[in-house]
């Protein structure tokens, strides 16, 4: 298991004037991050336009980053959503070359704390990859408490938290 320490940069998805993905620019972004000393890459988080890309485009972006990175840095892949079963299915199909998962708390559903626990336990059972929880109540409508985070931290492959509540 590769470790995630230091600065992980969320890669944007660059577009051409015709609104197709600019894969040459994406490759340049990956090289710039590697050369600039980034510690790991985050692919297809919301910064990477994941909510608006088609599944085939997401796969192409990830494949391009994996190829350009060529094993130099750990890759964290954004896999999240409000349908637990759908997210679990996506986790079962993550390709080689991904070292960890960033998974946003279920949005729109506004889960209670037990709902967060149930959701992330299912995700942890669907993959052996390390999972980084992503708490962003401004987008999901529900805040994961410190107590819930500590409970989830007991799960072997839940390894970190991206905290965006503004309330530590």
| pLDDT over 90, % of the chain | 83
Q: Beta-carbon neighbour count of residue 104 at 10 Å?
A: 23
Distance CA 138, CA 168 (A): 15
163: three-class secondary structure by DSSP: strand
120 annotated active-site: no
Q: Is 58 a catalytic residue?
A: no
Q: Percent of the chain scored above 70 by pLDDT? A: 98
Confidence grade of residue 167 (pLDDT, cut at 50, 70, 90): confident
Burial class of residue 62, CB neighbours in 10 A (0-12, 13-18, 19+): buried
Angle between helices 113-126 and 84-92 (to 10 degrees): 20
58, 77, 120, 134: the catalytic one is 134
pLDDT score of 165 more than 90: no
């Amino acid at each position: 298991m590769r470790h995630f320490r230091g600065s992980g940069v969320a890669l944007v998805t660059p577009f051409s004037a015709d609104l197709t993905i600019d894969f040459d620019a994406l490759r340049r972004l990956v090289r710039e991050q590697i050369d600039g000393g980034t510690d790991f890459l985050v692919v297809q988080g919301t910064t990477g336009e994941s909510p608006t890309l088609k599944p085939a485009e997401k796969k192409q972006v990830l494949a391009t980053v994996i190829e350009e990175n060529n094993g130099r840095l750990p890759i964290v892949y954004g896999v999240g959503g409000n349908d637990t079963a759908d997210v679990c299915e996506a986790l079962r199909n993550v390709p080689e070359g991904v070292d960890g998962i960033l998974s946003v708390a279920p949005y729109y559903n506004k889960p209670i704390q037990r709902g967060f626990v149930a959701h992330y336990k299912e995700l942890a059972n669907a993959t052996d990859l390390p999972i980084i929880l992503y708490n962003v109540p401004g987008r999901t409508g529900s805040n994961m408490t410190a107590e819930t985070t500590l409970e989830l931290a007991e799960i072997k492959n839940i390894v970190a938290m991206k905290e965006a509540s503004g309330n530590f």
